[in-house]
Amino acid sequence: MTDLSHIRNFSIVAHIDHGKSTLADRLIQETKTVADRDMKAQMLDSMDIERERGITIKANTVRIEYPAQNGLTYILNLIDTPGHVDFAYEVSRSMRAVEGSLLVVDSTQGVEAQTLANVYQAIDADHEVVPILNKIDLPASDCDRVAAQIEDVIGIDASGAIRVSAKTGEGIIETLEAIVHHLPAPKGDRDAPLKAMLVDSWYDSYLGVVVMIRVMDGVIRKGDRIKMMQTGAVYGVDKLAVMKPKMVDIKELGPGEIGIFTASIKQVRDTKVGDTITTEKKGTDKPLPGFKPSVPVVFCGLFPVDSAEFDDLRDAIEKLALNDASFSFEMETSAALGFGFRCGFLGLLHLEVIRDRIEREYDIELITTAPSVVYHIFMKDGTQRDLHNPADMPDLTHVDHIEEPRIKATIMVPDEYLGDVLKLCQDRRGIQMDLTYAGSRAMAVYDLPLNEVVFDFYDRLKSVTKGYASFDYQLTGYREDNLVKMSILVNDEPVDALSMMVHRDRAELRGRAMVEKLKDLIPRHMFKIPIQAAIGGKVIARETLSALRKDVTAKCYGGDATRKRKLLDKQKAGKKKMRQFGKVDIPQEAFISALKMDS
């Protein structure tokens, strides 16, 4: 065990690409936690997707031993948190597990929306925050301006901000000293009953479920019988370790310490982030505050392009769900797309990550249907139901009213793009809540319906601001609005996978955009094809895809027979990638592309 006064626990708050992972690598390297020959970039990001996208999805931890300049050796526990809004709850739990944060800001860029959301989480968790101005080796670095911005926008003292180049190593020692001297030591009672927070968990193919914990009070030892207070399940601790960042076994973890254990837990689903772990006997009866079950907020259908791959898809989804408790799924049947799954995600990034992993790790091509949020449908008979899929919308005559989820969106943008951003938010039914400036950057806060954001809001935002805007959001609650289900009919047949919930006032616009897009996306057939958007029985937009008029090979002689035959055989295989609706073939990419709005 380590004396509490010699422990410091911290996280790093940063916007994507501001250098969080590089700084973590440098801290690990400087303290010789990992031998130089074993160093690789982004030590803490283990999944390919994490490394590739430069994002952190799972929390991770590393224990660093630092001999400080005062002659004492300190244990520094870094928790690397997910940085994305989709994982806001997970971030909040990680924040509760440490006492301080390093706020890393790129000194060539300045504060971004995501930095704000995470730093507020840190402040909410009563952290000491040490500002770090990174990338001082770059010519565009402007530390004074960025320090002033940190004080203006975030409202914390940045006069002692440490100037660092995680790339060259400059300022790393100063950072380690600041951790020791500016961050508080953890508190805790070694003699009290065990109280540990479940920070995160993941599946390891050798060890099974690995649980990361922060001990608040008491001691956990190998062999202990422990209890998860939310689920009531009891397990025996098989392995107890700290991460350096390789697992190193340890006999016990006391107050203030961070480590991992395994306990023959079968599924990640059995572990709840934020749960309190205590001993089976003589345990505490007071769980740590703030636990929330994870609730998916965005749903979409995932269907295999090749319907023969349905079983493979089920297999892939079940395997992924083993390691991701926040991802939900149930079988779905679509008249258009056949068998697939309706899946729930914490947000859009989460959706993309899961979809990418299925396509990449399991090599299954997917059709993804329009993402939808969860609507609350209030029926005339007084009952209420959740609608995850527009295809399940009940008959309107039985519906009293519908509520939709709203978010508070924070957007930071250089002021030359502000006009376009405000227009985008306005077009998406946004209500402005705040608009402030810090230097030449504006911060706009909007109350927006989540359904206007789930599909392509972020893409549009990036496009109208040439990538300079940053965006973050949090769910605020539900509100009634005039929502309707819009159906799309192709050649007079409704295509369920294209139906969507829209605001009545936006329906014509969306319907028009959809049918125009589809007209371009569906290849011409040998007959003309009406494409319509309808609400109930009423058509609100219509386009006609005219019949194919010319598709014939100009020259075809004796030497062309083989090539033409093989081409026809190949097209036969290609046709399997199209979905047939009545007599019409719709290419798979149409299901997503049709939903993208140009404004």
Partner 1 sequence: MPEDWENGGFGLYIHWPFCQSKCPYCDFNSHVAASIDQKRWAAAYLTEIDRVGALTPGRVLRSVFFGGGTPSLMEPEIVGAILDRVRATWPTTNSIEITLEANPTSVEAGRFTGYRDAGVNRVSMGIQALNDPDLRALGRLHTVKEAYRAFDIARGAFDRVSFDLIYARQGQTLDAWQAELREALSKAVDHLSLYQLTIEEGTAFGDRYAAGKLRNLPDDDLAADMYEATQDICGEMGFPAYEVSNHAKPGSESIHNLIYWRYGDYAGIGPGAHGRLTFGGRRFATTTPLAPGAWLDRVEKTGTGALPDEGLDRPDEATEFLLMGLRLTDGVSLDRLSALSGDRFAPRIAALTDMGLLEQRHGHLQTTDAGRPVLNAVLRELLSD
Q: How many residues bind partner 1 (CB under 8 A)?
A: 25
Give the binding range for partner 1 (CB under 8 A) out of 154-162, 195-203, 218-226, 564-572.
Answer: 564-572
Nearest residue (CB) to partner 1, 281 versus 563: 563
Least separation in angstroms between residue 176's CB and partner 1 is 54
Contact (CB, 8 A) for 98 and 183? no
Nearest residue (CB) to partner 1, 282 versus 549: 549
Q: Which residue of 246, 380, 565, 596 would you call a contact of partner 1, by CB under 8 A?
A: 565
d(Cα 587, Cα 524) in Å, to the nearest integer? 12
Nearest residue (CB) to partner 1, 37 versus 572: 572
Least separation in angstroms between residue 78's CB and partner 1 is 50
Each residue 472-511 as x (binds partner 1 by CB under 8 A) or -, in order, gives ----------------------------------------
> How far is residue 160 from each of residues 150, 164, 165, 178, 295, measured CA to CA in Å?
12, 12, 16, 10, 40
Which residues inside 398-457 make contact with partner 1, applying CB under 8 A?
Answer: none
Least separation in angstroms between residue 586's CB and partner 1 is 16
Give the binding range for partner 1 (CB under 8 A) out of 26-34, 349-357, 436-444, 563-571.
Answer: 563-571
Which residues inside 517-546 make contact with partner 1, applying CB under 8 A?
Answer: 524-527
Question: Does 551 participate in binding partner 1 (rule CB under 8 A)?
Answer: yes
Least separation in angstroms between residue 550's CB and partner 1 is 4
d(Cα 285, Cα 247) in Å, to the nearest integer? 31
In sequence order, what are the beta bridge partners of 242? 248
Least separation in angstroms between residue 521's CB and partner 1 is 16
* Contacts of range 291-296, beta carbons closer than 8 Å, 24 or more positions apart: 291/230, 292/89, 294/89, 294/325, 294/326, 294/346, 296/326, 296/327, 296/328, 296/344, 296/345, 296/346, 296/374
Nearest residue (CB) to partner 1, 206 versus 557: 557
* Contacts of range 40-43, beta carbons closer than 8 Å, 24 or more positions apart: 43/245
Least separation in angstroms between residue 413's CB and partner 1 is 33
d(Cα 483, Cα 507) in Å, to the nearest integer? 9
Which residues inside 118-177 make contact with partner 1, applying CB under 8 A?
Answer: none
Nearest residue (CB) to partner 1, 41 versus 568: 568
Helix residue spans in 410-489 (DSSP H): 418-427, 457-464
Contact (CB, 8 A) for 129 and 119? yes
Q: Which residue of 575, 589, 593, 596 would you call a contact of partner 1, by CB under 8 A?
A: 575
506 contact partners, CB below 8 Å, separation of at least 6: 429
Helix residue spans in 401-503 (DSSP H): 418-427, 457-464
Residue pointed to by tokens 């019988």: 225
Question: Does 308 participate in binding partner 1 (rule CB under 8 A)?
Answer: no
Q: Which residue of 67, 564, 589, 596 would you call a contact of partner 1, by CB under 8 A?
A: 564
Angle subtended at Cα 333 by Cα 331 and Cα 334, rounded to the nearest 5 degrees: 140
H/E segment holding residue 180: helix 172-182
Least separation in angstroms between residue 569's CB and partner 1 is 8
Residues of this chain that bind partner 1 (CB under 8 A): 524-527, 548-559, 561-562, 564-565, 568-569, 571-572, 575
